[in-house]
Structure 1
């Protein structure tokens, strides 16, 4: 069912609907007609119940249990977010905290992680930051023998990052050939990305210009393949603050929380969702079952792309939490965080 325009609701229905949504987002509990009658509405409980029933028939509200009050559906939340929400800008203290964590210095990935943690703490959700896959440029490559059939490949990037991987050794690989392979890769491939390095090695070997014996050639190919394939399938997604998803209201619905945490473990799917948010300039809000990824957990994602030099999108920042999160407060917070990261990347 598509959400109807908020202008099609009467003033009375709009007021009651807004109060139900505000109450639900504040404490995670359905809101009953008695609570609404005590909130200053100049209507009898019977009249309020009539309006609540009408809103339920429109698909905007639902009653989880008999006589338990009403709560907004995903369609109702979409109507509220798009047509009724009054955003609350981050306070000076909140802005300062985000800016301080983002500008703390150190490697870019560390700054992104601390920013995600700050956003998580302020929003009471899990903070998310996704950046494009890092195309490391090589500075040095070496091999350390671990066993007759295994070695550790050590890669040092131009940015100083060091990573290790265990690779299988071809039959007949001697210690001198191991050293020769590392020296060849460092001398020939320094300054190249992994993709460029693989292409260079294949061309050198095909043209007979690679001064390596057969075993060393096989090791060079194997080492580059391991690095390249690992980098290609690794989503660069930083998640901080998963523990904040388990609050007092969530204890009564642990199955939903378990589903949400499972969603976060499936980083590739989350990364694809955030990647779709990178296509535009505005903040994207994914509510509950609007996205099949969250059909079970009933979660919402608020995400916004941030840009680097030349206006190119370099990443997406956002939060994930229950559908009852405080959209009016969190949406501007995500917007400000995206702007802060854009300045950091500029």
Structure 2
């Protein structure tokens, strides 16, 4: 069944459709003709309203979950509403100041990112999510320390002053001279590069025959750099806060849907891929229910927006996930505001 574009709806149909959607978002329950007629502003009888509701159902915009139980919007209907009829509630100056204050109070950028997911959860009454870009650590100093028994401690000092240690398995006796040569090589030649850039520059130099490293030292360099690449790839990059909000009173009658949604959240890789698809978006993106294969069973919606550093580069994506009856008009601008506010803190 193909849904009609909003421009093809009559004024009467548009108004009834809008009220059904807003009523459903507000209560989580189907909206019936008697409820619409009781308002009095439509100046239509319940019979006339039922006729319009039937037409909207035929058009694929509304559905009746039970006989005589009223209508609720379909995913296609919600898309029509969000794209062409929604009245966005812009955040006030006080709300903007409150969000910026909460982010600033969190401390370092890493803490502010976690706080952003909590803020989104509080604002939406659903779950807040932040997709953190893999950390592009730049090297300032690199050293290898012999631990004995075929192991070495690789110590990396970043340009930001952070220190990280990793154990490197060498699998044989270590030559102290090779350890020093490997450490000095990385520090002197590759400082100021990211790990990926360092590894590529090292391979290029070695392949061109320009490296003065012996085989033992070269192997130590490769192992030392690789241990961070492997570790970074395994780190979770999706932060979720407020999943318990998904278990509200309206969820009790649809526990299977909520269970499916929580299972989706457990599968962080798939959710991260969905958020990542919003990285290049010029504005906040909205994924509604069955429009996305991942949430076809749980009937959930995602509102996502990229956040940028001070130079305008996209460094991650944040958003909200919840039932399709999210208050889009309020949550969409709040997600956008939080993304912009977080971006101000990222150098």
TM bin (shorter chain): 0.7 to 0.9
Write the deviation string for residues 67-92 of structure 1: whole angstroms up to 9, x where unpaired: 33221100110111112211112234
The aligned runs of 1:225-240 (5 Å cut-off) are 225-232=226-233, 234=235, 236-240=237-241
Mapped to 1, the partners of 2:161 and 2:93 lie a distance apart of 36
CA RMSD of superposed structures (Å): 2.9
Secondary structure at the counterpart of residue 168 of structure 2: strand
Structure 1 residue 122 corresponds to structure 2 residue 127: no
Q: Which moved more, 1:125-134 or 1:62-71?
A: 125-134
The aligned runs of 1:172-251 (5 Å cut-off) are 172-173=173-174, 181-182=182-183, 185-202=186-203, 207=209, 209-211=211-213, 214=216, 216-232=217-233, 234=235, 236-251=237-252
Secondary structure at the counterpart of residue 78 of structure 2: helix
Long gaps (5+) in structure 2: none
CA 1:266 to 1:175, structure 2 compared with 1: closer, same or farther past 3 Å? farther
Write the deviation string for residues 127-159 of structure 1: whole angstroms up to 9, x where unpaired: 233354321112334456677355554433221
Shift of 1:110: 1.9
| Native 8 Å contact 2:181 2:213 kept in 1 | no
Write the deviation string for residues 77-111 of structure 1: whole angstroms up to 9, x where unpaired: 01111122111122344222211123236432222
Mapped to 2, the partners of 1:96 and 1:53 lie a distance apart of 46
Aligned position for 2:72: 71
The aligned runs of 1:1-346 (5 Å cut-off) are 1-40=1-40, 41-104=42-105, 106-143=107-144, 148-173=149-174, 181-182=182-183, 185-202=186-203, 207=209, 209-211=211-213, 214=216, 216-232=217-233, 234=235, 236-345=237-346
Q: TM-score, normalised by structure 2?
A: 0.86
CA 1:196 to 1:73, structure 2 compared with 1: closer, same or farther past 3 Å? same
Q: Which moved more, 1:310-319 or 1:50-59?
A: 310-319
Q: Which moved more, 1:11-20 or 1:320-329?
A: 11-20
Mapped to 1, the partners of 2:201 and 2:11 lie a distance apart of 69
| Native 8 Å contact 1:116 1:238 kept in 2 | yes
